[in-house]
Structure 1
Amino acid sequence: MDASPHDAAAPRRRGRPSRTQTEAAPATRDRILDAAREEFSERGYEKTSVRGIAKAAGVDSALVHHYFGTKEQVFAAAIEVAFAPALAAPAAVDGPIDGVGERLTRFMFGIWENPTTRSPLLAILRSAFNNEAAATVFRRLLVAQLLRRIAQQLDLPDAELRAELAAAQLVGVAMLRYVIKLEPLASADVERIIERVAPVVQGHLTGS
């Protein structure tokens, strides 16, 4: 006697992860994010693929799409986690306004000088400067998560422009020091750099 269609297990739709693949979340999701950060860091945005991320994470590529969608969305999720330490920067704005430039500068260079947080930030900058899709993600994260929050705490005219100019100063110096490694900036003592950069950042944030 033929088995009823309801007795047989329904075939899994092509391209969708199985129940056993998804039930291990969020550990699987975290593993994919870790693999994505490594791939983007080592290969850059253009040479990184969803298939490569999946292989590095030990999962099927359909699972990467299931959790994150496109490669751009994977990149956004990966750098948001990596960018998390910098998102505490608005707290550095708290305190006397005449010292905000030094506090913010010291905070940001503290992140760059830490090898643990420097590596993912380098991957972000390299990808953003080499690929427009990655740059779009970086700008969106930078503006929505960091600059607007700093601007809100400044409570000054043209606050968003002030925050953007301060960020441009800090990102530019970081780019030359840690990515391009321009000498003597690359090997200069970080305290000397903070001493020179902080007044400029202060001027951007609170100058008349």
Structure 2
Amino acid sequence: MPTPPPSRADRRRATETRILDRARELFAERGFDRTTIRAVATAAGVDPALVMQYFGSKRELFTQAVQTLPAPPADLGSDALVDQLLGTLGLKLGGLPEGALAMMRSMLTDPAAAEYVRDALGRQIAGIGGALPEAEDAELRAALVVTALLGITIGHQLLGLAPLSDAPADRVAALLRPAVRALVEPRADAAGGDEGPAGP
């Protein structure tokens, strides 16, 4: 029995997916400001009016295209948390989803993108901070971890810094491990790290 032709709803979903895929690629390559509806439509092989009909505006298209930032980690012990954080870094250095790259490229020039990233990072900070109940400054420690990993990701993925680009991800993670461990294990620096300079 022959396969029935795709329904109108199926064709619409396929077209929307194609538009979102092309938009994700262009936003990642050019950022929000330099990506146009016309360019997305051309890349997707559709009329610009159809993009507007499906998504309403470039802002809504962008919002739907970039909803791929990773969720915060679950509540873990410190060893598992360090492993998960460094494992996530390995994935980031191996290549981020186009939506995440688009958001990162746009966050310094587009206020809405910046707000989206701020919210996503805030959830990550809350998740990591929740795994550090013994630390009085858990939120600060979590923010330092998250922003350090973000900076490394930007240097590797968007700036292409040669020392980062040339180094294997496991080597980067190995060098970072003591610093991340010091941040997520408060007792590791309690013996002398917070006492300040010795007297004369």
Q: Same fold (TM over 0.5)?
A: yes
The 5 Å alignment of 1:1-40 reads 24-40=11-27
Which residue, 59, 64, 67 being the options, matches 1:77? 64
Identity of aligned residues (%): 34
CA deviation profile, 1:12-50 (whole Å, cap 9, x unmatched): xxxxxxxx9877343232222101111112322111122
Kept after mapping to 2: 8 A contact 1:31/1:57: yes
Which residue, 111, 126, 131 being the options, matches 1:148? 126
- Equivalenced residue count is 180
Which runs of no fewer than 5 residues in structure 2 stay unpaired? 1-6, 188-200
Alpha-carbon distance in structure 2 between the residues aligned to 1:153 and 1:28: 42
The 5 Å alignment of 1:120-139 reads 120-139=99-118
Kept after mapping to 2: 8 A contact 1:151/1:160: yes
CA deviation profile, 1:157-181 (whole Å, cap 9, x unmatched): 4444332221101011122233223
Q: Which has the higher helix share?
A: 1
* One-letter amino acid matched to 2:32: Y
* One-letter amino acid matched to 2:107: A
Kept after mapping to 2: 8 A contact 1:102/1:194: no
* One-letter amino acid matched to 1:194: A
The 5 Å alignment of 1:164-203 reads 164-203=143-182
Deviation at 1:187, TM superposition (A): 1.1
Alpha-carbon distance in structure 1 between the residues aligned to 2:47 and 2:139: 43
SS of residue matched to 1:186:
helix
Kept after mapping to 2: 8 A contact 1:80/1:141: no
What residue number does 1:90 align with? 73
**Distance of aligned partners of 1:202 and 1:63 in 2 relative to their CA distance in 1, 3 Å threshold:** farther
SS of residue matched to 2:162:
coil
Deviation at 1:104, TM superposition (A): 0.9
Kept after mapping to 1: 8 A contact 2:92/2:153: no
SS of residue matched to 2:67:
helix
Which residue, 108, 112, 115 being the options, matches 2:89? 108
**Distance of aligned partners of 1:158 and 1:22 in 2 relative to their CA distance in 1, 3 Å threshold:** farther
Deviation at 1:136, TM superposition (A): 2.5
Kept after mapping to 2: 8 A contact 1:102/1:202: no
**Distance of aligned partners of 1:38 and 1:123 in 2 relative to their CA distance in 1, 3 Å threshold:** same
